[in-house]
Homo-oligomer: A and B are copies of this chain.
Amino acid sequence: MNIKGKVVTLRAMEEEDQELLREMVNDPEIEKLVGGYSYPVSTNQQQNWFNSNSNSQNNIRLIIETKEDGAVGFASIVNIDWKNRTAFHGIKIANKKFRSRGIGTDTVMAVMKYAFEELQLNRLDGTIIEYNEPSRKLYCDKCGWTVEGVRRKAVFKLNEYHDELIVGVLKKDYERLIKENNYWDI
């Protein structure tokens, strides 16, 4: 089933989303903000990636959609470890104007709701590059995540090494959060 936030719907990727994803992965502004990196990606490569990455038992990749703007980003719940009940989560928002409108928060809330209340996971993992303060605020100040460690000098970007924050959230953190902020009720 699709995953509903208050503003966003998270749905399976479609072929017509690939150009947006390719633009995002090729955009230096976005690459700077995330821990990962990518060589320049062609339309063909993007298509091949899409063809071999449909949703499966261990990896769920989703388009973030709003009624107003259509597809605005990408969210993933990947490397699901069912025995330990953990998974890795990340998001990318396509466009600056979307980044300050609560879409990020709603996406992370919806992902946690789905991961904890439907998939029965117990923990989500994430990483944040040290200087991406908006991302740290989104995850840790608004969505109940905790900085659990710092991988020193783990990412090389813009000609220097950067530390990478290890962040995580447990089901009980999420439960405490929604009890406090009544996210789904207001």
Contact = CB atoms under 8 A, between A and B. Distances in A.
B2 A26 contact: yes
A45 B12 contact: yes
Contacts of A39: 12, 55-56, 60
A135 interface: no
A27 B1 contact: yes
Contacts of A156: 83-85, 118, 120, 122
A20 interface: no
Nearest to A56: B39
A170 B163 CA distance: 12
A80 B43 CA distance: 23
A15 interface: yes
Nearest to A22: B12
A186 interface: no
A82 interface: yes
Nearest to A159: B117
Contacts of A11: 26, 40, 42
Interface string A131-151: 000000000000000101111
